[in-house]
Amino acid sequence: MNWLLAHLDTLKESLGTWVHHPIASALNIIVIGIALSMPAGFYLGLSNLQTFSRQLSSDPQVSIFMNADATPVEVAAVEQRLKANEDVGRVVFITRDQALARLRRSAGLADVLDNLGRNPLPDAFVVTARSNDPATLEALHDEAQTWPKVEHVQLDAAWARRLDAALNISRMLVTVLAVLLAIALVAVTFNTIRLQILTRHDEIEVSKLIGATNAFIRRPFLYFGALQGLAGGGAAWLIVALAVLVLNVQLADLAGLYGSMFRLEWPDLRYTAVLLGFSAALGWLGAWLSVSRHLWQMRPL
């Protein structure tokens, strides 16, 4: 019980520091919020883009062409393999006669095709995958290539690979930006705590002389650093949420022109918890480094 009361008193003391220095505290929170909002906003934008890419109507397809001498039984066996594959979403079988009829209509080559004397086109399956993940599509392509009486497998996934590569590069850039701004947040907290320590230098030295432990001396500063980081994370969340609100208004007009319902999703509970926890942890780390450095340099009177 005494331990809990001691921590509550420390928390109250940390909040009191904000009350006594409201302008400086508000400026620090705004700086932290702006720094954190950039990687947090980019990450949310990438998540929305990835969700949108999965809703595109131009789903990746795999075309499987059979040998010209494949029997109906062998064609049916390939169809059964496709329907049993969990990665396959939809299977459309196109007979060689149907393919020839489509070619006549679309290419305007009726005279040329009539002079061939026979149908040169094979039976084919057009397969729509459940996922546009390039690795899944490649695996389906390689597996179908080994099936009996399959002459050729064509994978239409170049756009999926490009999109996945672009998203991976964007994630890496967001990670680098997050690391750099996290270091900046730690530095801001470090300097803020250092200034507080300098103003309370004599008090800390007296506390050391009467037996105060390093943990006791660190406690109020660690609480302040964590609370400042938490408040900065809250400011970042508000900035991102405001940006989503403004962008959704603009996107509604743009999406309406294309007959789409695309809109940016709001930060969910998991996103919010990670952002606040991460910012509080960085504030705590900056305070711990600052106090530990001061205690290490301190010499008894």
CATH of the domain at 67: 3.30.70.3040
- The domain boundary, picked from 104, 122, 156, lies at 156
Residues 84 and 212 occupy one common structural domain: no
Residues 48 and 67 occupy one common structural domain: no
Which tokens is 160 given?
A: 């999926």
Residues 166 and 285 occupy one common structural domain: yes
pLDDT of residue 12: 62
Residues 47 and 175 occupy one common structural domain: yes
pLDDT of residue 235: 92
pTM, full prediction: 0.60
Residues 227 and 266 occupy one common structural domain: yes
Please choose, from the candidates 109, 81, 78, 108, the residue with its C-alpha nearest in 3D space to the C-alpha of residue 94: 78
Amino acid occupying residue 161: R
Residues 72 and 146 occupy one common structural domain: yes
Residues 255 and 171 occupy one common structural domain: yes
Q: Which residues pair with 155 in a beta bridge?
A: 62
pLDDT of residue 237: 93
Residues 282 and 187 occupy one common structural domain: yes
Which tokens is 297 given?
A: 């340099």
Residues 47 and 65 occupy one common structural domain: no
pLDDT of residue 203: 66
pLDDT of residue 276: 92
Residues 39 and 186 occupy one common structural domain: yes
pLDDT of residue 239: 92
Give dist(CA 133, CA 167) in Å, integer.
Answer: 12
pLDDT of residue 161: 64
Which residues form the domain of 46? 2-55+162-297
- The domain boundary, picked from 127, 156, 185, lies at 156
Residues 6+ apart with CB under 8 A from 164: 133, 134
Residues 6+ apart with CB under 8 A from 194: 290, 294
- The domain boundary, picked from 121, 156, 191, lies at 156
pLDDT of residue 247: 82
Residues 199 and 264 occupy one common structural domain: yes
Reported as type and span, the H/E element at residue 150 is strand 150-156
Reported as type and span, the H/E element at residue 152 is strand 150-156
Number of domains in the chain: 2
Cβ of 284: how many Cβ atoms within 10 Å? Answer: 22
User: Which regions of the chain are under pLDDT 50?
Assistant: 57, 300-301
Residues 166 and 227 occupy one common structural domain: yes
